[in-house]
């Protein structure tokens, strides 16, 4: 049986993951409005990954005999200044999520919940990847600067994400 403090924090994390999905879907919609279909596609895939992250936590609480309690999801922003502004915000958001996962690990440790600590290691690895993939696009956008051709090529590249 999962301890109450751990159950509560994982429920909060489900909310944070679903908010991430909302945020990335809103970013996808921003890119659609700018006719950058590749960026929009990349963000949609990212949003689906966030739903998967939430569902993995959902399954874990149930498996441990806990109770999932869903809370309201905040509205995400609607507009950004540029594609670079969007991706910088993705990166910042992922760093924030990494902090939340680290806090969860520390809680599991203080509660001596080895199973949860072990379960969270998947998220630790995932966050390294999430931060790196957002940062890679930020760096490319910085190189591209105001080149329409560069943006077009990057849009084409991001459209390939599976």
Judged by CB under 6 A, the residue of 50, 88, 117, 155 near ligand FEO is: 50
Min. distance of Cβ 123 from ligand FEO in angstroms? 7
Nearer to ligand FEO, 50 or 155 (CB): 50
Residue 127: how many CB atoms within 10 A of its CB? 19
Residue 81: how many CB atoms within 10 A of its CB? 9
Q: Is 23 in the site for ligand FEO (CB under 6 A)?
A: no
Q: Is 53 in the site for ligand FEO (CB under 6 A)?
A: yes
CA distance 80 to 27: 8
On whether the CB atoms of residues 100 and 13 are closer than 8 A, the answer is yes
Q: Compute the residue count for the chain.
A: 162
Judged by CB under 6 A, the residue of 2, 43, 97, 108 near ligand FEO is: 97
Number of residues that bind ligand FEO (CB under 6 A): 7
Q: Is 131 in the site for ligand FEO (CB under 6 A)?
A: no
CA distance 69 to 13: 11
Please report, as ranges, the residues that interact with ligand FEO according to CB under 6 A: 17, 20, 50, 53, 94, 97, 130
């Amino acid at each position: 049986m999962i301890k109450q403090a751990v159950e509560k924090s994982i429920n909060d994390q489900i909310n944070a993951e679903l908010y991430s999905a909302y945020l990335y879907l809103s970013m996808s919609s921003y890119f659609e409005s700018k006719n950058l279909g590749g960026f929009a596609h990349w963000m949609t895939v990212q949003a689906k990954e966030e739903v998967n992250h939430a569902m993995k936590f959902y399954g874990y609480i149930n498996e441990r005999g806990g109770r999932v309690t869903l809370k309201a999801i905040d509205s995400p922003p609607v507009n950004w200044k540029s594609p670079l502004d969007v991706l910088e915000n993705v990166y910042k958001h992922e760093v924030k999520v990494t902090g939340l996962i680290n806090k969860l690990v520390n809680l599991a440790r203080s509660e001596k919940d080895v199973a949860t600590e072990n379960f969270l290691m998947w998220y630790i690895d995932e966050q390294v990847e999430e931060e790196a993939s957002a940062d890679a696009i930020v760096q490319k956008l910085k190189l591209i600067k105001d080149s329409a051709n560069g943006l077009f090529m990057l849009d084409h590249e991001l459209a390939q994400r599976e």
